[in-house]
A and B are shown apart, each in its own frame.
Chain A
Amino acid sequence: MLDDFLTRAALAGLGLVLATGALGSFVVWRRMAYFGDSTAHAAILGVALSFVFSLPIYLGTLAVAVAMALIVAHLTARGQSMDTVLGVLAHSALALGLVGVSFVPSLRVGLDAFLFGDILAVTRTDLAWIWAGAAAVLGLLIWRWQRLVTASVNEELAMAAGIDPARERLILSLALALVVAIAIRIVGALLISAMLIVPAAAARGFSATPERMAGSATLIGAVSVFGGLWASLWFDTPAGPSIVACAAMIYAATLVVCRR
């Protein structure tokens, strides 16, 4: 069954949305969209480093994304503005990554695959990384769900209940780093944020509670994966962007249906 590239692609996409549905909801609730974008851009540096040191792509991108999350947490705790820190780090890392890539001739041609993803080329090893990463993110979110939701509602209320909002924020940043690492093969660095935000935004319209929104976002993500792969096969369009376009169409449809 795993011999079919389309099956592998679908499984990779489903693994990803298992993590992005819930995590993307937090990204929407806490206005972390720019954070996701920045981490994803920085991941290009991780791709370059992986090639230079012959590491698995996932390790290199994960290391850079985690480093970025920790540095951002450290600098914002010292009173730097989040926007500025992210802007500086993301674009420095992206620039360094692109400079690094120029030293790796084989990569110079294939960079597209990391900017826009290549879900149709995922291997069994990729699948193992993606599902392990997604399971880790989902497990982390479920484990700390009540605390994360409380801290996202109001930090003062969370502190009064003995929850450390800074720690929960860091946990979300690390989960985001992990998702960026597993998503880079699937939708690429430029479209990772879309997989986080678009399904969650579409789910918002008809969700009454945080849990239902996370669940619906996961479902919408899964439908988008199938729809995108189908469109890609039928119209010969690039798969990653087709998945995102499909999610965007669902979002547009919910805007019309849920208009009150």
Chain B
Amino acid sequence: MTALIRATDLSVSHGGDLPVLNHVDFLIRPGEIVTVVGPNGSGKSTLVRALLGHVALASGRVERAPGLRIGYVPQRVHIERAMPMTVRRFLSLPRRVGDAQAAAALERTGVPGLEARQITALSGGQFQRVLLARALLGDPQLLVLDEPTQGLDQPGIVAFYKLIEEVRAETGAAVLMVSHDLLVVMRASDRVVCLNGHVCCEGTPQAVSAAPAYRAMFGAESQGTLALYQHHHDHDHDHVAEGHRHGPACAHTH
């Protein structure tokens, strides 16, 4: 299968400082759910923006499949209260869509009938679902979600990831997520990339949650995910971390 997006030897730096991303290789295939995890400042959002072509590269290259349709939900979308904006109008930005299409998208993401509401009057969970509905309107081959569950409570987070899996199953779209919610996201992903300026480790959630680099990076919280996967261990997976470049000492600071 060919890749939707392939990044080779990607480096990005903001200004003259140390590079935010250092020789990162990344690849996402059709239909795959890939999650990028990593501590604050590890370059997760920068990686996403580089893959989308929003930032200049210091080195390396990013190849996107020709005509690739991407649905994007950025991190922390803030809409000024000064701007009146109904949900319906928002769904038509920048490409106008019909009423039936808009209603179907809202229905699909579990927030039917919100069309007339002001965006600024929505709850955090509703707003995330409206953003997802808007991203789905372009019939994307790839959904890119940057910290999509920020500000949601635990049940909200679980429900949101469940929705993402449903959408993937229905549309066959690949999903690239950046996340903090280790426990939940690990369960929902096909592949996890652990980032800290460079790729520390990557592979199936099971493999990554057992990787020493991952456990060193996330400490106590990683114990939870490890326990989770040990608990489910009677399935099969006994993989070793794939593409592990650095060994246990890779959580060092840069």
Contacts and interface: CB of A to CB of B under 8 A. Distances in A.
Interface of A: 28-31, 146-147, 149-150, 152-154, 156-161, 163, 204, 207-213
B90 A153 contact: yes
Interface in B88-110: 89-90, 93-96
A159 B144 CA distance: 13
Contact of B74 (A156, A208, A211): A156
A67 B93 CA distance: 31
Which of B78, B86, B93 has the most C-beta atoms of chain A within 10 angstroms of its own C-beta? B93
Interface of A is mostly: helix
B77 interface: yes
Contacts of B75: 156
B72 A156 contact: yes
Which of B83, B95, B118 has the most C-beta atoms of chain A within 10 angstroms of its own C-beta? B83
Contact of A157 (B72, B80, B83): B72
A238 B162 CA distance: 65
Interface string B66-90: 0000101011011110111110011
Contact of B93 (A153, A159, A204): A153
Contacts of A161: 94-95
B74 A163 contact: no
A157 B74 contact: yes
A119 B90 CA distance: 39
Contacts of B74: 154, 156-157, 160
Contacts of A157: 72, 74, 77, 93
A29 B82 contact: yes
A167 B20 CA distance: 26
Which of B70, B80, B82, B89 has the most C-beta atoms of chain A within 10 angstroms of its own C-beta? B82
Given A156-B75, A208-B118, A213-B84, 4 more contacts: A146-B94, A156-B54, A207-B84, A212-B84
B77 A156 contact: yes
A156 B85 CA distance: 17
B128 to A, nearest CB: 14
B94 A150 contact: yes
A147 to B, nearest CB: 6
21 contacts: A28-B82, A29-B82, A30-B80, A31-B80, A149-B93, A153-B83, A153-B85, A153-B93, A156-B54, A156-B72, A157-B74, A159-B52, A160-B72, A161-B94, A163-B94, A204-B82, A204-B84, A208-B86, A209-B86, A210-B83, A211-B89
A207 B85 CA distance: 9
Nearest to B116: A208
Contacts of B54: 156, 159-160
4 residue pairs, one from A and one from B, having the closest CB atoms:
A156-B74, A160-B72, A150-B94, A29-B83
A156 B178 CA distance: 15
Contacts of B116: 208
B80 A29 contact: yes
B84 A210 contact: yes
A142 B235 CA distance: 59
Contact of B89 (A31, A154, A204, A210): A210
